[in-house]
Structure 1
């Protein structure tokens, strides 16, 4: 999966978020998710060590408010943000590109999975037509059909499980499952179903 932030960019982006106002850790995580269109939702284990490092560098301070730790940028942190305005513009542009690339990767993965499914369905249908052409005894044909049906169901279920795993992993890593991606998958599944129907009907 295409990385959202290049090396060192996250540090500057955290300072940029804090330059907008004090935030607690989970607020920063949610802000990053919002700013990246849901394609990047870092873990607490990613954000808090970086905030601690910024505190060591004198770029941020922290205060405890009840059960929350609030982080606030210092003058030194503001100075770095101001001096690296051009870098921040590049990061914003890179984020937009990363969102598009990740969405393209998901669509490409779905297309490849659908291509594989169509090939499996076509092969199963061809095998069925071959058995029919050979005109075996009715009982043998029914037995083989049941065997091939079981094999086809295994193929379809395997495909379904793989797609569910891939999509759930993508979302769990912070990816945004947009309506256009879902529509694309639905369209391609419909196409595969129509191709299977045509194949089973012999044309």
Structure 2
């Protein structure tokens, strides 16, 4: 996945956030996370050096309010922002595209894992029916059925492990997770369970 902000874009976007209202550093970090749908959670080591540079350039000022340092855009900062309004529009469009790409990637991984699970369950169901069709060899049929149950266990464990890894990687990378993705996962699991129960009832 490409970086959320290209070189120099974060600096301009911080200026645009300060144009909305004065903010302290944590507010800016939270606003960036909120505006990017959780796909970007910057550290203090990323934000404060850029704020310091904006201050050096006379584009922002800072004042100490208790234990917080509040940053505010200057008139020169607003002029700079107005001059680069077209660049800012491009940054915001790119952010929207990045959020969509990441959400689509996670949904695609969940759907692929569900398709694999459903295929394994269908194969286990067909094998179970084949074993049941051999009444002259009940012990062999029982052994074959246990083998298929083990196969289903392996498929379920693999699915669980893969989805958990995908979700944890996504959260570690972005700091957020769209609830609709989990709702879709739960619905797919419910559907798969219902399909198994129908198959077992014959």
TM-score (normalised: structure 2):
0.80
Counterpart for residue 152 of structure 2: 152
Alpha carbons 2:12, 2:81 under 8 Å: kept: yes
Residue 100 (str. 1) matches residue 100 (str. 2): yes
Mapped pair 1:60 → 2:77: no
Mapped contact 2:23–2:71 kept (Cα < 8 A): yes
Q: Deviation at 1:13?
A: 0.5
SS at match of 2:10: helix
Tell me, yes or no, if the aligned pair for 2:134 and 2:141 is still in contact at 8 Å. no
- Equivalent-residue separation in structure 2 for 1:55 and 1:135 (angstroms): 84
Corresponding residue for 1:177?
Answer: 178
Query: How far apart are the structure 2 equivalents of 1:3 and 1:187?
Result: 32
| Dislocated runs of 4+, deviation >6 Å | none
SS, match of residue 52 in structure 1? helix
Aligned-residue offset at 1:121: 1.8
Q: Secondary structure at the match of 2:6?
A: coil
Deviation at 1:168, TM superposition (A): 3.2
Report the 3-state secondary structure (helix = DSSP H, G, I; strand = E; otherwise coil) of the residue aligned with 2:42: coil
Structure-2 change in CA distance of 1:175 and 1:3 (3 Å)? farther
Q: Distance in 2 between matches of 1:84 and 1:16?
A: 10
Structure 2: gaps spanning 5 or more residues? none
Per-residue deviation at 1:17?
0.8
Count of residues in Structure 1 that have an aligned counterpart in Structure 2: 201
Indicate conservation of the 8 Å contact 2:61/2:72, yes or no.
yes
Structure with the bigger RCO (C-alpha within 8 Å, sep 6+) is 1
C-alpha distance 189-67 of structure 1, shift in aligned 2 (>3 A) = same
Residue in 1 aligned with 2:73? 73
CA distance in 1 between counterparts of 2:93 and 2:66 reads: 37
CA distance in 2, matches of 1:120, 1:52: 57
Q: Where does structure 1 lack aligned partners over 5 or more consecutive residues?
A: none
